[in-house]
C-alpha cells in the first residue's frame, strides 16, 4: 500500500505562533504514520 504524501505547515509571523506549533503537534501525533508520509514545514516568527 502506498502512503499518501501530506505536508503540515505551521508557525508563521502571527501572534498565534506558539498556538500554531501546539496545534500542529496535536495533528501530527494523531495521524496514522502507516498511512501518511508526513513532511513538516515550519515557518519561523521572522517568516
Task: Spell out the per-residue pLDDT of the chain, length 47, in tens.
Answer: 799 999 999 999 999 999 999 999 999 999 999 999 999 999 999 99
Only one residue has cell 508563521, namely 12
Report the pLDDT value the prediction gives residue 32, as an integer from 0 to 100.
96
| Whole-number pLDDT of residue 40 | 98
Domain assignment of residue 21, given as a range: 4-43
Q: What's residue 21's pLDDT? A: 98
pLDDT of residue 14: 94
Look at the chain and report how many structural domains it folds into.
1
Contacts 24+ apart (CB under 8 A), 11-20: 11/42, 11/43, 11/44, 11/45, 12/43, 12/45, 12/47, 13/43, 13/45, 13/46, 13/47, 17/45
What is the rounded distance in angstroms from the CA atom of residue 33 to the CA atom of residue 41? 17
Amino acid at each position: 500500500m502506498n502512503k499518501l504524501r501530506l505536508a503540515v505547515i505551521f508557525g508563521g509571523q502571527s501572534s498565534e505562533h506558539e498556538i500554531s506549533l501546539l496545534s500542529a503537534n496535536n495533528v501530527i501525533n494523531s495521524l496514522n504514520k502507516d498511512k501518511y508520509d508526513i513532511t513538516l514545514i515550519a515557518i519561523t516568527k521572522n517568516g
